[in-house]
Every structure is written in structure tokens, then in C-alpha cells.
Structure 1
């Protein structure tokens, strides 16, 4: 296996934090891992330059090499990719994504591909979305979900949708797990496994201002402590 696709139950569930953490964790294990964001909506600016904010977070743990494409399509509005691409008159081309993915694959042990939004997001139209891209890349997925109320429903729906598309799910990572969880939150990991039939391979703690602090080694160590890397890359 040379690639893993990181998807989530929704936007803002913490896919970028998890992708950054996994990049750090695998590198720490001497696995030459690289993060890759094929499609980014919600560009930020640095002077006249547009930047992909998720890639900028990756850079806190990963130094890219010359000519490495860590992002293929970048759009200014934070809209669904198919709409952002249409408004920009710059359609998403899966062949470009596949070329960039394979280029990274040739020079790294593992490519960590982060999706845009949730799993059911369309990339071109109703016929071609994130699942179709994953099938073309021929890689397994992990599902990132949140720890709080609603996670059972969101995680189960995402898992069943992925299975209906024939995707290979390696496991589920619960992000933002609080220091003092309620009884309901404590119950969620075991019940997620029961209702989906998929293992929870990581419970990542809630860290205040995590994106600002993710470059700190002690924060990274705290975040990755509860992830079973062997179940992802054995």
C-alpha cells in the first residue's frame, strides 16, 4: 500500500489536523510520508499569491521538495468543489490529480491524500465525486469523525455510503476527544464499531488552538498517542 485517503463525516471535522499528525507520525517511524491535498476550496492570500491553507498547515511538519505538487486545484471561495471550479472556469481534472499523486508515489513510501469536505462531495458533477476519485487512485480510506453528539449518525451514514461505493475502509479516527468526556461520549467509540463493523483505530484528544500549536513537538506527540499506526501501514 502506498496511499491512504483521509475523508471525514463533514467539513471542519479535523481532516487536515489528522493528515498533518499522520505525516509526522509516519516520518517519526522512518516511513517517508507526504501529505497531498488534490482540491482546496477557500484559498488564503499572501500578498498577490494564493495559498492552500491546508497545505500551509502540513508545512509545520513537512518540508516540500522542489517541484512537489502538494495541491492540484485551488479555488478562492469556500464552496463545494464542483461549484467553485465552475465559477472559476477551471474544472477539476482527475487525470491531473492522478499524475500528481503518482509523481508523489514514486518518491515516497506513503502518500496521505486529504479530501475536500465530506465523502459525498461532488468534484465535477453528480456522476463524479470523491468516491470516484478514490476508486481511480485505488487506495483505502480512513474516516475522521468528531467525538460529540451526532457522531453515531454521521459516522454510520458515511461508512455505509463508502461501502455502497465499494471503498476499502481501513478504520475510523475520532478527533477532538475531550479530557473529561460525558458518559455519552465515552460510549461512542464502542458503539461506532458495533453499528459500522469498522474498527476505531484512533482517538485524538481535543487540544485548544490546535492548528496554531500543531508545530510543537509535545502537541504532536499528544495528538498521535492514541492512533494505531500498525493498522494503517503494516
Structure 2
């Protein structure tokens, strides 16, 4: 049985909870004694602490993972929360896929599993219309997980993302549904079945909706609840 060394976590759009899922998966795998590390190659929307810029997603990872000295969990950081290609143009600091590949391989050498979180949705350009997130994933030669939400509109967004990924020749492990309510409507329940039927891809995780989830990610009780519905065996084999 072959073990993966990297998984790319993408989403149907921005704000579907990719960072929460990446953080949770890091916690879950490390709890299983699998040395997993989170990595955000490109972050738009830097936050400031004094005169220092910080990557907010990496700061969230720190709730479950303490980086080693000189470990790069982010390669390109931009202040405006724009599409990466445009933020890079404004900063006159283009994204270099070779830097990302180098940082990924460095993490790969020091850990069993690298969990790479994308910026925005899957179709986001990184350099221009010729090189975006799918091209980076192919360069890294790793499979993807699609994060979507339980809300209305998820069937369309998930199907479009899955078909786009397939058109780019990407290997999809499965779909994780984030923000699943405690008392779902009949429509939300039906989405679980229809997502698999429409995409042909298994739903490998259902993550519950928790108020103020990012603020509470350091709480073990919250983390345990979040990871309870994810089939880790489908992700790492």
C-alpha cells in the first residue's frame, strides 16, 4: 500500500472553510502519530502585528502545529485580499512556482504528510490565465480534496469545481462538506446523496457547524467534534 506524501486542499470558493479543514486535518493526523504539516503557498490578505506582516491562515494552523525553526509554512504573502495573480502584480512580486515546489519538498523531507491549502477556489490564477492553481497541483503531482459547504447552492458549486478539476486532469480523493448544521433541512440532507451522484466522487467528510469556530480551534473538544465525521483512512493510505 502506497502512502501519499502530499494532499492539496481546495474549495468551491473563498470562505468555505479550507483553513479550518486544513487545521483540523493537521490535528487529526498528528493525533494518529502521522507527522503532518500544514502549508499555505500563497496568502492574500496579510494581517499586521506591529510592523510585521503575518499570514492569517498560518496563524490559525499554529493552534494545532508549532513550526520548527526556519520552517516555511507560507511562501508568498500579499496585503490586499485580491486574486493572487493581481495581488502579486500590484506588489511587483510575482509568484514563482519553483519556490513553492522547493518549499514543499523541504517540508516533505521533514514530515510524512504535507497538507497544502490553496488560495480561494480551484480556478484562481496564480501568474496569468495560463498558470493557476490546477497547474501548480500538477507540478506538485499530488491529489486534491474539495471542501464545500452544506448551504443552498452547494450542488452547483461542487459539481462545477469537480468537473473543472477533472477537465484539468487532477486526481480527486473526495469531498468534505463543511458547516453541516445540527438540525439540517431535508434539502441539506439530500445534498449528501446528490453531490456523490452528480460528481461521481465520494463524500469523505461531514464537518459540523460550530459558532465562532476559528476562535475556538485551540479547544480540544471543538477539534474532536470537527474531525469526528472525516474518514481519515480515505485521505491517507
TM tier, shorter chain? over 0.9
- Residue 139 of structure 1 deviates from its aligned partner by 0.2
- Residue 204 of structure 1 deviates from its aligned partner by 0.1
Structure 1 counterpart of 2:7: 4
**Quick one: distance in 2 between partners of 1:218 and 1:151?**
28
Identify unmatched segments of 5+ residues in structure 2: none
User: Scaled by the length of structure 2, what TM-score is found?
Assistant: 0.99
Structure 1 counterpart of 2:193: 190
Q: Does 1:62 align with 2:79?
A: no
Structure 2 counterpart of 1:114: 117
**Quick one: distance in 2 between partners of 1:30 and 1:163?**
32
Structure 2 counterpart of 1:80: 83
**Quick one: distance in 2 between partners of 1:177 and 1:30?**
27
SS of 1:86's equivalent?
A: helix
Which deviations, in whole Å up to 9, do the C-alpha atoms of 1:160-196 show, x marking residues without a partner? 0000000000000000000110000011011000000
SS of 1:117's equivalent?
A: strand
Which deviations, in whole Å up to 9, do the C-alpha atoms of 1:79-106 show, x marking residues without a partner? 0000000000000000000000000000
Alpha carbon RMSD of aligned pairs, Å? Answer: 0.3
**Quick one: distance in 1 between partners of 2:151 and 2:20?**
17
Q: Does 1:97 align with 2:107?
A: no
**Quick one: distance in 2 between partners of 1:23 and 1:232?**
12
Q: Does 1:175 align with 2:173?
A: no
Q: Does 1:221 align with 2:230?
A: no
User: Scaled by the length of structure 1, what TM-score is found?
Assistant: 1.00
Identify unmatched segments of 5+ residues in structure 1: none
1:151 to 142, 151, 154: 154
- Residue 220 of structure 1 deviates from its aligned partner by 0.1
SS of 1:115's equivalent?
A: strand
**Quick one: distance in 2 between partners of 1:102 and 1:75?**
23
Runs of 4+ in structure 1 deviating by more than 3 angstroms, as ranges, are none
- Counting only pairs closer than 5 Å after superposition, residues 19-30 of structure 1 correspond to structure 2 as 19-30=22-33
Q: Does 1:127 align with 2:130?
A: yes
Which deviations, in whole Å up to 9, do the C-alpha atoms of 1:53-82 show, x marking residues without a partner? 000000000000001000000000000000
Matched residues, number: 234
Structure 2 counterpart of 1:14: 17
